[in-house]
Chains A and B, each alone.
Chain A
Amino acid sequence: MQIHITTSDGVPIYQQVVNQIKFLIASGRLNSGDELPPIRVLAAQLLINPNTVARAYRELETAGIVEKRRTAGTYVSEQGSPLARRERVKILAERIDTLLAEAIHMGVSIDDVMKLVQQRHNAIQSARNEE
Chain B
Amino acid sequence: MLDSIPSSASPIVEIRQLTRKFGDKAALNDLSLEVPRGGVFGLIGGNGAGKTTLIKHILGMLKAQQGSVHVFGLDPVQDPVGTLGRIGYLSEERELPDWMRVGELIRYTQAFFPNWDESYAEELRESFDLDKKARIKTLSRGQRARAGLLVALAHRPELLVLDEPSSGLDPVVRRDILGAIIRTIADEGRTVLFSSHLLDEVERVADRVAIIHHGQIMLTASMEEIKEQHRRVTLRFEQTLDRPPELVGALSSTGQGKEWTYVCNGETTQFRNAAEAIGATVVEEAALTLDEIFISHIL
> Residues of A with Cβ closer than 8 Å to B?
5, 7-13, 39-40, 43-44, 47-51, 54
Contact = CB atoms under 8 A, between A and B. Distances in A.
Contact of A54 (B3, B286, B290): B3
Contacts of B289: 7-10
Interface string B254-272: 0000000000000000000
Interface stretch (B11-19, B121-129, B202-210): B202-210
10 contacts: A10-B227, A43-B186, A44-B179, A47-B204, A47-B205, A48-B204, A49-B223, A50-B182, A51-B2, A51-B39
Q: Interface on chain A toward B: helix, strand, loop, or mixed SS?
A: loop
A12 B175 contact: no
Interface string B193-205: 0000001100111
Given A49-B206, A49-B207, A7 B290 contact: yes
B40 A49 contact: yes
B208 to A, nearest CB: 10
Closest 5 CB pairs of A and B: A10-B287, A7-B200, A54-B2, A47-B178, A7-B203
B229 to A, nearest CB: 12
Contacts of A47: 175, 178-179, 182, 204-205
B5 interface: yes
A54 B182 CA distance: 13
Interface of B: 2-3, 5, 39-40, 175, 178-179, 182-183, 185-186, 199-200, 203-207, 223-224, 227-228, 232, 286-290, 292
A103 to B, nearest CB: 19
A41 to B, nearest CB: 10
B204 A50 contact: no
Contacts of B288: 10
B203 A13 contact: yes
A36 B290 CA distance: 28
A51 B223 CA distance: 11
B227 A49 contact: no
